[in-house]
Amino acid sequence: GNTAVTVIGLGEMGRALAGALITAGHPTTVWNRSAAKADELVAHGALRAATVEEAVLASPLTLVCLLDYGASDAVLRPAAGALRGRTLVNLTNGTPAQAREAEAWATGHGASYLDGGIMAVPSTVASSQAFVLYSGQKRHFDAHEETLKALGAAKYLGADAGIAALYDLALLSAMSVMFDGFFHSVAMATSHTESSAAGFTELLVPWLTNMAQVMPAFAADVDSDAEPVLGQGLDVVLASVRNMAQASRDAGVRADYFEQSAAALEKQLAEGLSTYTAPDAVRRLRASD
């Protein structure tokens, strides 16, 4: 039969996770601090636990999805004694260090631990778009992979419990800078009286989609010790970054990002670098100054 699963935390995401497990036919037990958030799930067949301890004891596998690790520590601590021999998967967004601490705490109480990062929004959980990153001991992942697939494609990253959180936050950082770039470009474009955000975005989406295709080649250069395959004159790149900064200022749009970027490129040029490459771009970000 289908593995029984407990879901602790029924916010937007936790309710989506529990709903996906119910749909996939798993006996699902739920708990949330504000109990009313369980009502709709219970109407769809979930079992309501009165306490966290009761929730953990109901299933061999417990998923946790709360605001942050402070909340998950506070919620789980009183139920520590119930964890022995069970598997805890923490899908709460947190840092790699928090994930490693959570693993040490859980294994100290006799639990098997996996950390996870959900790469989906509540409405896409369990859809073909959704994927979830996992890290921790491989045998724990193997034991529950079939069940975890109900949430979205399950991607195991490695034995270090922190790597799922690292990749999750790295993916979110790319998304966040991309949206900031989008908003910057919209602020520039719509400073012109004859433009609309919608009309501009019709050009932006295919442009960014095309540029994203370059990333695997950039990544290969970062991984390789050989001379980078992709390169552009650093002076040419610097000139265009300075133009982006100036045109932004002329349009009444903040240019801080491009001014900082120009300063970093000027420094590399002064150090004798003449080509813009992916490994140098990564190095520029690593530099402590």
At 201, list the tokens: 């975005």
Whether the Cβ atoms of residue 47 and residue 27 lie closer than 8 Å to each other: yes
> Which of these ranges, 10-18, 23-31, 138-146, 261-269, lies near ligand NDP under the rule CB under 6 A?
10-18
Q: Tokens 């407990």 appear where? A: 6
Report if residue 12 touches ligand NDP, rule: CB under 6 A.
yes
* Amino acid symbol at 131: F
From 128, 110, 106, 132, select the one nearest 119 (Cα to Cα): 132
Distance, CA of 87 to CA of 244 (rounded, Å): 51
Give the x/- contact pattern for ligand NDP in 47-66, rule: CB under 6 A: ------------------xx
Which DSSP state fits 85? Answer: T
> Which of these ranges, 9-17, 106-114, 194-202, 229-237, lies near ligand NDP under the rule CB under 6 A?
9-17
Main-chain dihedrals φ then ψ at residue 35, nearest 5 degrees? -60, -30
User: In this chain, which of 18, 30, 114, 118 binds ligand NDP, going by CB under 6 A?
Assistant: 118
What is the number of the residue whose Cβ is closest to ligand NDP? 11
Whether the Cβ atoms of residue 89 and residue 111 lie closer than 8 Å to each other: no
From 102, 120, 101, 95, select the one nearest 19 (Cα to Cα): 120
Q: Is the dihedral of CA 249, 251, 256, 262 positive or negative?
A: negative
State in angstroms the smallest separation of the CB of 94 from ligand NDP.
Answer: 7
Pairing, β 112-119 against β 131-136: antiparallel
State in angstroms the smallest separation of the CB of 91 from ligand NDP.
Answer: 7
Report if residue 20 touches ligand NDP, rule: CB under 6 A.
no
State in angstroms the smallest separation of the CB of 18 from ligand NDP.
Answer: 11
Whether the Cβ atoms of residue 51 and residue 27 lie closer than 8 Å to each other: no
Our CB check for ligand NDP shows the closer of 165 and 253 to be 165
From 227, 217, 234, select the one nearest 276 (Cα to Cα): 234
Give the x/- contact pattern for ligand NDP in 226-265, rule: CB under 6 A: ----------------------------------------
Report if residue 34 touches ligand NDP, rule: CB under 6 A.
yes
> Which of these ranges, 117-125, 183-191, 195-203, 276-284, lies near ligand NDP under the rule CB under 6 A?
117-125
Our CB check for ligand NDP shows the closer of 34 and 209 to be 34
> Please, which of residues 122-141 interact with ligand NDP by CB under 6 A?
122
Report if residue 33 touches ligand NDP, rule: CB under 6 A.
yes
In total, the chain counts a number of residues equal to 289
Report if residue 170 touches ligand NDP, rule: CB under 6 A.
no
> Which of these ranges, 30-38, 155-163, 257-265, 271-279, lies near ligand NDP under the rule CB under 6 A?
30-38
Report if residue 32 touches ligand NDP, rule: CB under 6 A.
yes
Our CB check for ligand NDP shows the closer of 151 and 262 to be 151
Q: Is the dihedral of CA 211, 216, 222, 228 positive or negative?
A: negative
At 183, list the tokens: 């908003």
Residues that bind ligand NDP (CB under 6 A): 9-14, 32-34, 37, 65-67, 71, 74-75, 92-93, 118, 121-122
